[in-house]
A = this chain, B = another copy of it.
Amino acid sequence: MANPVLVEVTRGPLVESRHRGAVAVVDAEGGAVLTLGDVDEPVFPRSAVKALQALPLIHSGAADRFGLTDAEIALAVSSHSGEPAHVEAAAAMLRKAGCDEPCLECGAHWPMDAAATRALAAAGGRPTALHNNCSGKHAGFVCLACDLGEDPAGYAKPEHRVQQAVRASLEDLTGASHTPDVRGVDGCSIPTYAVPLPSLAYGFAKFGAGVGISPACADAAGRIRRAAAAHPFMVAGTGRFDTRLMEALGERAFMKTGAEGVYCAALPEAGLGLALKCDDGAGRAAEAVLAALILRYLDLDGDQRAAVEAMARPRLENWNGIPVGEIRPTLPKAGAR
């Protein structure tokens, strides 16, 4: 059975492309609120779980001992665009731990933001690991390693104490086993573990509601949510979906994109966690589905509703600015179980 079509992309009078996928919406007691498609198949959450991966940095006290700011904590859960403010914040985090850019094990790439790449090239610069979209997360790992008294070298490997702490946090929140048979290597070289969508949604429901986890972990989750809401630019960057959505909604929603069409989100006031995967890995579709789910589960009005509606159904324009079509979510109303 194929997963349902969640998004259509139109051109002129016709549907040009379609995206299928699966969705799980779960409450903080683990109850299924919405289930679309095959949610039993394990999904690599990739960067969508950076907030859960960052919990040990906070609840261990490492972030406080190194004096990390809220902007830096937001960067630690980001997939940032490599703009100057991101690069500077990642470097500042490393300095606080007494380290520098060569400590980072994420690899270098040109900034995700096209204008930042052009500016760097125009200045005669070259990208470093600080420009990697995961450098904030990695800087957090370096801080955690140093706080634990461990050599940061090798912190990206599954057997390093940092990744053991990260894995324990993921298992604690999601309730799912994170074992070598479901382990892949992520773009930034840390392990990524595939788990079913309801486990991810459950983890984010707990992350948002602060229940079903230790008080220290709940405090850490709240701090991350508030830091991201206060610094949405640090979580992504100029024009990016997560940044715009958190600018519109503030603390009402925490969401994080992951590569290959994944989204995880927490809606604290609704007591819900959301996880979705587009089968084909398309980010444009994952964004539209996430916005449609937020419209369904948050009671929005005025500017907030208008902003999220526009993000759920973006108009497509060509190089001359001529409207050519739109992206529109088509997720079924039914599917709860």
Contacts and interface: CB of A to CB of B under 8 A. Distances in A.
A285 B17 CA distance: 14
Interface in A12-44: 12-14, 16-20, 42, 44
A318 B285 CA distance: 23
Interface size class of A (residues with CB under 8 A): 35 or more
Select the residue from A2, A12, A42, A322 with max chain B CB neighbours within 10 A: A12
Contacts of A117: 114, 117-118, 121
A70 interface: no
Interface of A: 2, 9, 11-14, 16-20, 42, 44, 105-110, 114, 117-119, 121-122, 124, 132, 181-189, 192, 194, 260-261, 278-282, 285, 318-322, 324-325
* Identical copies of this chain, number: 2
Nearest to A318: B187
B13 A182 contact: yes
A107 B319 contact: yes
Contact of A318 (B42, B181, B185, B318): B185
A12 B42 contact: no
A44 B14 contact: yes
A237 B105 CA distance: 32
